[in-house]
Copies of this chain bind each other. A is one copy, B any other.
Amino acid sequence: MQMTSSTIYDVAKAAGVATSTVSRAFSNPDRVGAVTREHVLEVARRLGYQPNPHARALVSRRTRTVAMVVSDITNPHFFELIRGAEMRAKASGYTLVLVNAEESPRIELEQVHRLTRSVDGFLLAASRQPADDLLQLAANHRVVVVNRRVPGLASVVLEHAEGCRQMVAHLASLGHESVVYLAGPRSSWMAASRWAAIRGAAAELGLRAQRMGPFAPTVASGGAAADAALTTGATAAIAHNDLLAIGVMRRLADRGVQVPADVSVVGFDDIFAADLCTPTLTTLGGAHADVGRAAVEILLNSMEQPRDLAPELVVPSELILRRSTGVPGRPAGR
């Protein structure tokens, strides 16, 4: 193992070829005679040569790095997303840079600017940016938005319109007549989109639907959300995500309200904890890792491809029925 790393020059000299040949052997193997190539690679191995990615990026303008910007790294839901993205990136020899936007559109923008020259593209997960800003951003950067749809931009979302419909239908079939949506952050596209779907489904099925909030998508804000929900008289609460739903259930328990006998509670994401809390949480889940994977894939493709197609991928979701939903007014079965 060398102290100081060798360069293309060292390899070229040791192999008795030109530097360009060494370069080709690594980045354009079929432009080099088979024997020369093997020889060069062998020498390179012996010398412990590793291409310098910065030198490479400087001239080729490709960094083999992608950045994933998440709205809030604190939310366990992003875990799977990040995991899927990391694995897919690694599989193609790409590196994943992780950025936490801390729920701030400003930080989000700042970081994108900061990283512009260092990465080949961006995955913007649950971006809090206005659509126009995103479009402008995408004019200068390679971008895939995740869990958000912006016409004209490549995107991957976990299906949720149909999911919301099923959710409401599930509640309706249990006998609920009034539901309340405990909304997520004002700037969350998901929150708006879900509310539209819930309201639509409720109208169709003859339920009353109200919206309260916005609430931060955290356990802590579940207290306020629960109290708000109770004032509406609704027998079912659909929380913006599982964290909020768990917080709501906590507060309801504290206030002596039974779930699901008095109030049914539903969440989104199917985080790990959804299957552990008491009662276990009915929620809209799906393969979040696939979302991350697909997003990276689209980004990588967009770098090779003709360009300018903006695929909008929808990964299927599934409504997972657990113990937090039930017939209103009836104590939980068994």
Structural contact, A82 and B86, CB atoms closer than 8 A: no
A53 touching B95, Cβ below 8 Å: no
Contact between chains at B95 and A118 (CB < 8 Å): yes
Residue of B nearest to A2 (CB): B140
Residue of B nearest to A53 (CB): B118
Contact A140-B273, Cβ < 8 Å, known A50-B113, A97-B96, A100-B90: no
Q: Which residues of B contact A139 (CB under 8 A)?
A: 1
Query: A60: nearest residue on chain B (CB-CB)?
Result: B54
Say yes or no for A278: interface residue by CB 8 A criterion: yes
Measured as residues with beta carbon below 8 angstroms from the partner, the interface class of chain A is 35 or more
B95 and A115 contacting across the interface, CB-CB below 8 Å: yes
In the assembled complex, the Cα of A93 lies from the Cα of B111 at a distance in Å of 10
A residues 1-24 near B (Cβ < 8 Å) are: 1, 3, 5
Q: How far is the CB of A99 from chain B (nearest CB, A)?
A: 7
Which residue in B52, B86, B116, B277 is a CB contact (below 8 Å) of A98?
A: B86
A95 and B97 contact, CB distance less than 8 A: yes
> Do residues B74 and A83 form an inter-chain contact, with CB atoms below 8 A?
yes
Apart from A3-B140, A54-B55, A86-B99, 18 more pairs, CB < 8 Å: A5-B117, A52-B58, A52-B117, A53-B54, A54-B54, A54-B117, A55-B58, A65-B97, A73-B82, A73-B83, A74-B83, A76-B79, A79-B79, A86-B100, A87-B100, A90-B100, A96-B99, A276-B278
